Structure 1
């Protein structure tokens, strides 16, 4: 056996991109994917909700206001949509490919809790996420609801209104504060190139320290001090 053959395969990173609607997440995910590819990394880009699956099609109908769901039911569908791809994410990362995910458990929990349903707290919303692959880094694109509302296409889907987005921003702060070691806040109010440059820098540094992080971890319970 050669020295090269005896070395275990180095895993990829799990990089999550989160933020308010119209913060530029999808564009930045695509730019990050392209930049990492040019640097020689194997990369896969996943976007949640995955609207191509049976569960995803139900979610798509709901988001387009073409159907209605109980708050708890739709939340569990969003979570199930992530669980549909959990093993694929684990296997892909283990095989040396970095996975970039546009929206993840953080969005799932805060958007449901932001509805202010008294029986759907942030803690309740987080429970179905426990056990899903935990990101090595969560990049939160920070932008004010007012600035987001000025961007093209705002208001096309159910959650895109300023009242909802303000609640979402507040809850993101609460949730991400509990995940501080894995979070990097990015000022998304700058130019696309400026934001992309910082994101790529953070992602490359994350990939470089994977050996120190160890195997891909799992999301744990949420502890919030009231």
Structure 2
């Protein structure tokens, strides 16, 4: 059996990321491609509930501690993610370790320290980065509702994301219409699906 594809979707806040994740899963299923959406942080687990409280500004935690919680939230999902991929299911993942590093470094933490807890996670086959300027993001509804949606921080986050890109990354102009972004996403994903798949790689940031 051919394993499923691991697709991570990243982007600054209000880039339309969550909408495009849902559209991508819908479009894959319409082509009879077994697929599922996974969101990080998973706010239903014990670590996720602590993260949710923090993000909603209902609790305060040290920046190092919250970074490690985000990482733990990803690690606790690895077994289930691996099993689904090996069973042939394609996974669309809304945020991954890249977000964890970009946001924490933007808050002033050390770049290498931030990467370390996630070293050895599953490496995605494809990372789609929905690129949107902060000026464009601010024009969209809901900007600023959660702790991380502050202008200066978002500018830094966008810079840090670019330091994390590798050959698996594809940049998409998220200022285009929702339909155009949807088409761009699907074109890139179908192209990736046509390529031979390696074994699962548990080597994020090991090289």
Using the size of structure 1 for normalisation, the TM-score is 0.89
Is the Cα–Cα contact under 8 Å of residues 23 and 148 in structure 1 kept in the other structure? yes
| Residue 59 in structure 1 maps to residue 51 in structure 2 | yes
Give the 3-state SS of the residue equivalent to 1:139 in structure 2: strand
| Residue 107 in structure 1 maps to residue 116 in structure 2 | no
Cα distance between partner residues in 2 of 1:202 and 1:139: 9
Cα distance between partner residues in 2 of 1:155 and 1:220: 31
Alignment partner of 1:10 out of 2, 17, 23: 2
Is the Cα–Cα contact under 8 Å of residues 38 and 92 in structure 2 kept in the other structure? yes
Alignment partner of 2:155 out of 166, 171, 177: 166
Cα distance between partner residues in 2 of 1:49 and 1:219: 21
Query: Which digits, 9 at most, give the CA deviation of each residue in 1:149-179, with x for residues without a partner?
Result: 1111110000101100000011111111xx2
Give the 3-state SS of the residue equivalent to 1:169 in structure 2: helix
In the alignment, which residue of structure 2 is the partner of 1:5?
none
Alignment partner of 1:203 out of 175, 189, 194: 189
| Residue 146 in structure 1 maps to residue 130 in structure 2 | no
Cα deviation for residue 218 of structure 1 reads 2.1
In the alignment, which residue of structure 1 is the partner of 2:174?
188
Q: Which runs of 5+ in 2 are unaligned?
A: none
Using the size of structure 2 for normalisation, the TM-score is 0.97
Q: Which runs of 5+ in 1 are unaligned?
A: 1-8
- Number of matched residues? 207
Larger Rg over CA atoms: 1
Give the 3-state SS of the residue equivalent to 2:191 in structure 1: helix
User: What RMSD over aligned residues (CA atoms) do the two structures have, in Å?
Assistant: 1.1
